[in-house]
Homo-oligomer: A and B are copies of this chain.
Amino acid sequence: MPSAHPATEPDIEIDLARHQACSAAERYAEVRGLTELLARPLSAEDQTVQSMPDTSPTKWHRAHTSWFFETFVLAPHAGGYRPFHPMFGYLFNSYYETVGTRHPRPERGLLSRPGIDEIAAYRRHVDTAMADLLTGRELAPDVSDLIELGLHHEQQHQELLLMDIKHVLSMNPLRPAYRERAEPEPSSRPAPTWVDYPGGLVEIGHDGGRFAFDNESPRHLHYLVPFSLASRPVTCGDWLAFIDDDGYRRAELWLSEGWAAVQAGRWEAPMYWFRDGPWQVFTLGGARRVCPTEPVCHVSYFEAEAFARWSGVRLPTEGEWEAVAATHGRVSGAFLDLDILHPQPVPSGKGLHAMFGDVWEWTSSAYLPYPGFQPAAGAVGEYNGKFMVNQHVLRGGCCATPAGHVRSTYRNFFPPVARWPFAGVRLARDL
C-alpha cells in the first residue's frame, strides 16, 4: 500500500525558504520585533489586565517569552550572562516545574509592576545578550535548537497575545477595538462540496527534517477508512441556520458535558456574538455585523461536535485532516501577516479552501502521544507532553498565527470547552 504522503508542501515551503535565507540573528530580531509590534497599539492599562485564569496580560507575554531565552539559552550557554532581575525567574515562569516555583497563573493580572517600560528594558537586555550570542562563534547544535524552539515558542505567544487581548477587550462594555479594521466584503457564499479521500495506510507525523515540536513525532503508520472532507470551513451563515433551528436548545445534539457547558455558560451563539437587532460580533477591529460567508470562529469543541451532529456528519480525525492537507498542494488562508486579524470570507472557487490560516479546525481526536512519542530532553520536555489529557487537537492555524509557524503535521490543542482560541469547524463524513 503506497504512502499517501506528498513530496512537498509548496506554499509553506516558500515561506520557510524566506526564513532560511535569513541569518539566525536576523530571524531572531524579526520574530522578537513582531511581538513588540503587536503590543504597540495597546496602552499600559491594556497590557496589564488578565480577564480570566486562561488568559495572560500582554506584558506578561512579552516578559515570559524573554524569560524563555534567558532561562534556557542565556543562563546556561552565554558565559557571564547577568539575569535582568532576580525575581523575574519567579514571576515569568509559566509552568516549568523543573525550573522552580513560580507566580500563580490566576494572579498574573495582579502584577502592576514591572510596568511596560521595565518590561521593554527586560526585552532589550535579553535581545542584546542574544545578539552577542548569535553573532559570536558558531553555536552548538543543541543551543541552536533551543533558540529555534524559543522562536517558535514566541510565535505561539504572539497568537496567544492576540487571543488574550481580544478576550480582555471583549469584557469591556465600551467594546474597544485593538486596531480598527475595514469591514470585509462579503463573498457570495460558496456551496459546500466534499473532497474524497481513499483511506488506507498512511504515514502521519513529522518526518524529522525541518523544525517541529516533539508532539508531532514520530512519524508512524495509521489506517484510515475512506472519507470525505468539506471543501471549506463552516461559515457564520451555516451557523445562523443552526441557531435558528434551536441548535443551542436541543440536548440531543450535544455531548453530555457539552450540554452542561451550554447551560452553565448560557451559550446561545459563538463567543463574541451578541444581539443588537441582528447578530453582531466583537472582533479585534471592534464590533460589527456578523458576515455570513466568514468562517465561524470562537466555538468550542462541544459546539463544533454538536454542529456536526446537527449536520448529519462528523468532525475529521487529526489523521484524516493531515492526510488530506499533505496531499493537496497550495492551500490558501489568512495568517497574521495578512493583518486582517479575523477569518476572511471563504472564496467561491473549487477545491479545498482555508485548510491553513483563518480558523483552527477542531478535530475529533483527543490530544494524545503518537506511538513511540518521547518528550524532548530537559526542562523543555515539559513543553507538550504533559498536557496530553482532556484536550482535543486543532489543525491548520488561524488569522492570528504568524505565517510560517505551522505545517501539515502541526498539532495545536485546547480543552473541549475553550472558546477564546480562533477555532472553527471543518466537517467530514464517511464515504
- Mask of A240-262 contacts with B, CB within 8 angstroms, 1/0: 00000000000110111111000
Q: Which of B97, B103, B116, B302 contacts A259 (CB 8 A)?
A: B97
Copies in the complex: 4
User: Residue A168 at the B interface, CB < 8 A?
Assistant: yes
- A110 x B301 contact (CB < 8 A): no
- A357-401 interface with B by 8 A CB criterion: 364-366, 368-369, 371-372, 382, 386-390, 392
The smallest C-beta distance from A278 to any residue of chain B, in angstroms, reads: 22
**Interface size counted on chain A using CB atoms at 8 A:** 67
Chain B residues positioned under 8 Å from A168 (CB to CB): 110, 112
A290 to B156, CA, bound (A): 46
A46 to B314, CA, bound (A): 45
User: Residue A43 at the B interface, CB < 8 A?
Assistant: yes
A403 to B223, CA, bound (A): 34
- A48 x B51 contact (CB < 8 A): no
A111 to B220, CA, bound (A): 49
User: Residue A49 at the B interface, CB < 8 A?
Assistant: yes
User: Residue A209 at the B interface, CB < 8 A?
Assistant: no
A107 to B49, CA, bound (A): 11
**CB contact under 8 A between A107 and B171, given known A48-B48, A430-B372:** yes
- B98 x A45 contact (CB < 8 A): no
Q: Which residue of A172, A252, A254, A416 has the most chain B CB atoms within 10 A of its CB atom?
A: A172
Q: Which of B87, B251, B364, B369 contacts A364 (CB 8 A)?
A: B369
- Mask of A76-110 contacts with B, CB within 8 angstroms, 1/0: 00000000000100110001011000010001011
**CB contact under 8 A between A256 and B223, given known A107-B171, A115-B43, A369-B364:** no
- B172 x A115 contact (CB < 8 A): no
A257 to B388, CA, bound (A): 9
- B255 x A173 contact (CB < 8 A): no
User: Residue A418 at the B interface, CB < 8 A?
Assistant: no
A371 to B15, CA, bound (A): 35
Chain B residues positioned under 8 Å from A225 (CB to CB): 220-221, 371-372
- B171 x A257 contact (CB < 8 A): no
6 contacts between A and B (CB under 8 A): A45-B48, A45-B113, A49-B111, A97-B252, A364-B369, A389-B416
Binding site for B on A (CB under 8 A): 43-49, 51, 59, 87, 90-91, 95, 97-98, 103, 107, 109-116, 168-169, 171-174, 176, 201, 220-223, 225, 251-252, 254-259, 301-302, 305, 314, 317, 364-366, 368-369, 371-372, 382, 386-390, 392, 416, 430
